[in-house]
């Protein structure tokens, strides 16, 4: 057997989505033009989950606040514009082009990560090339930027053959038909699908089955416009602080009601729960189009579609049944996150040379932020020396059957507070996806001053909340020495 060829580099990054690109940006602040970085992705191009998503997706936040590091968009659009899939992919390619001029980036698209092991002062990474052969890369550091590990949903399987089971990628065929549509799922994908059908097919029968429901975030509140940018709205930083103050690890329902009252919206009103995907954003105008255009929106869970007495019937978990017209489209828009099980892995190896960004030991659950800040911590020695907390989000969801959103705010707040004390302040200034950048400079400075004064007090409160979650649910949630077992 031939010995695999061994390549050497300063750092190997597995994953070329938004988390991997932010890790690459952060690494660029410590590496030089001749330092080699191996960037690996199983897909054939940069973009991560954006390469797989449905064609009519739109970015749910102002496009300028979605980037790698502080790399500016070249898109000539007003600042509140919601970018399309091709525009998002173009920008991510632009980010890679910019970073490739700062370092020697060896792009390995179409390659698979196989395994890694730390040997001495290096990490030995085994990869599988598109030709099926294995290659070995030795690196001083490894970042596994797996993030949410999103895989597109297949069509749902039903007992009945009288309905048409579809996914969002079947939208052209759905639009060409005039049959009724039932959208299964009320999160970001479901809202995008409903809005597209209602606006492109006026008068079409469009319905949603949303289960327990998913709250969307009101974009008009998070990203206030006009004079409200100076005094109104609820910036994400303020939302995070207030959420963490209210949540003590036991009072999810109380916090859910407050959250909906200040920020939430959805097709079934205040019946919605926290979204598994940490919540998409929608404007009041977009939600009005959806709610006014839907024939029905039901808080039911679908069990099957069966044939009975010569017709198709919904069968719900509650036992309720309902007739469907032959040829009805049933579109699988159920959540993409936390749908499968992954092996547990600590977010950092004991040596600090391997960083793993995923949801089995999440330090900052929003992976764009994680790629940026955790890579900075890796290069400055804080990743395995600071008392960072990690939560097994996948285990928490499996045990509770609920969204992980409540743990996101205290977990992120606690760890960013530690990072703020450890990292140079320019790291925070250069974070171009800080949602506070939407607001005028005086308001941003006031928010920063408030954070400087209060973050350590908030850190203690957040740690107590996280300890309560660990004890209440018996899940991994704590510093490194609490993550085994």
What value does the mean pLDDT of the chain take? 93
Structure tokens at 49: 């989950």
pLDDT at residue 69, rounded to an integer: 98
pLDDT at residue 9, rounded to an integer: 97
Q: How far apart are CA 150 and CA 258, in angstroms?
A: 30
Residue-wise pLDDT for 29-42, tens only, equals 999 999 999 999 99
Q: Indicate the range of 16-20, 149-153, 235-239 predicted with least confidence.
A: 149-153
Q: How far apart are CA 390 and CA 334, in angstroms?
A: 27
Q: pLDDT over 70 for what percent of the chain?
A: 96
pLDDT at residue 484, rounded to an integer: 58
Structure tokens at 169: 């990628």
Residue-wise pLDDT for 61-86, tens only, equals 999 999 999 999 999 999 999 999 99
Domains, the chain, with CATH or none: 6-151+339-482 (3.50.50.60), 165-332 (3.50.50)
pLDDT at residue 427, rounded to an integer: 97
Write down how long the chain is.
485
Residue-wise pLDDT for 148-158, tens only, equals 877 788 999 99
Q: How far apart are CA 251 and CA 396, in angstroms?
A: 16
- Of 119, 124, 141, nearest in space to 4 by CA: 124
The tokens 């045990």 sit on which residue? 399
Buried b or exposed e, range 368-380, using 16+ CB within 10 angstroms:
bbbbbbbbbbbbb
Number of neighbours of residue 154 by Cβ within 10 angstroms: 9
pLDDT at residue 337, rounded to an integer: 64
Residue-wise pLDDT for 79-114, tens only, equals 999 999 999 999 999 999 999 999 999 999 999 999
Q: pLDDT grade, residue 482 (50/70/90)?
A: low
pLDDT at residue 2, rounded to an integer: 56
Q: What is the mean pLDDT of residues 364-381?
A: 97
The pTM assigned to this predicted structure is 0.94
Q: What is the mean pLDDT of residues 455-464?
A: 95
């Amino acid at each position: 057997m031939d010995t695999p060829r061994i390549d050497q580099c300063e750092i190997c990054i597995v994953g070329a989505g938004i988390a991997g690109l932010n890790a690459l940006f952060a690494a660029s602040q410590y590496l030089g033009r001749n330092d080699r970085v191996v960037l690996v992705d199983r897909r054939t191009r940069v973009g991560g989950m954006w390469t797989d998503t449905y064609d009519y997706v739109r970015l749910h936040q102002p496009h300028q606040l979605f980037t790698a590091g502080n790399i500016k968009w070249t898109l000539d659009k007003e600042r509140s514009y919601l970018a399309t899939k091709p525009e998002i992919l173009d920008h991510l390619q632009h980010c890679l082009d910019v970073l490739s001029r700062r370092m020697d980036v060896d792009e390995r698209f179409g390659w698979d990560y196989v395994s890694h092991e730390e040997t001495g002062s290096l990490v030995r990474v085994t990869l599988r090339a598109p030709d099926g052969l294995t290659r070995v890369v030795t690196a001083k550091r490894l970042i596994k930027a797996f993030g949410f590990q999103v895989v597109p949903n297949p069509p749902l399987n039903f007992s009945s053959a009288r309905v048409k089971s579809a996914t969002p990628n079947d939208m052209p065929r759905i639009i060409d038909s005039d049959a009724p549509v039932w959208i299964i799922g009320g999160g970001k994908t479901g809202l995008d699908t409903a809005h597209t059908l209602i606006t492109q097919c006026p008068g079409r029968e469009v319905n949603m089955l949303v289960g327990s429901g998913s709250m969307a975030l009101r974009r008009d509140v998070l990203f206030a416009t006009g004079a409200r940018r100076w005094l109104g709205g609820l910036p994400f930083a303020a939302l995070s602080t207030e959420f963490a103050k209210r949540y003590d690890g036991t009072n999810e329902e109380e916090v859910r009601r407050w959250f909906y009252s200040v920020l939430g919206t959805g097709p079934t009103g205040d019946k919605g729960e926290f979204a598994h995907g940490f919540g998409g954003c929608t404007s009041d105008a977009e939600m009005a189009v959806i709610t006014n255009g839907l024939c029905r929106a039901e808080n039911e869970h679908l069990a099957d579609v069966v044939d009975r007495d010569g017709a198709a019937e919904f069968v719900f978990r509650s036992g309720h049944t309902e007739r469907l017209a032959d040829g009805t489209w049933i579109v699988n828009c159920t959540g993409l996150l936390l749908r499968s099980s992954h092996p547990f892995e600590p977010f950092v190896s004991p040596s600090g040379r391997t960083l793993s960004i995923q949801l089995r030991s999440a330090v900052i659950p929003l992976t764009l932020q994680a790629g940026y800040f955790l890579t900075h911590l890796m290069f400055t020695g804080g990743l395995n020396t600071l008392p960072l907390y990690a939560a097994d989000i996948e285990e928490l969801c499996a045990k509770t059957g609920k969204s992980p959103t409540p743990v996101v705010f205290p977990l992120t707040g606690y760890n960013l507070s530690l990072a703020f004390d450890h990292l140079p302040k320019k790291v925070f200034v250069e974070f171009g996806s800080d949602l506070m950048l939407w607001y005028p400079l005086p308001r941003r400075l006031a928010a920063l001053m408030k954070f400087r004064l209060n973050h350590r007090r908030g850190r203690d409160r957040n740690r107590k909340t996280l300890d309560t979650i660990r004890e209440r649910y018996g899940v991994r949630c704590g510093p490194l020495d609490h993550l085994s077992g």
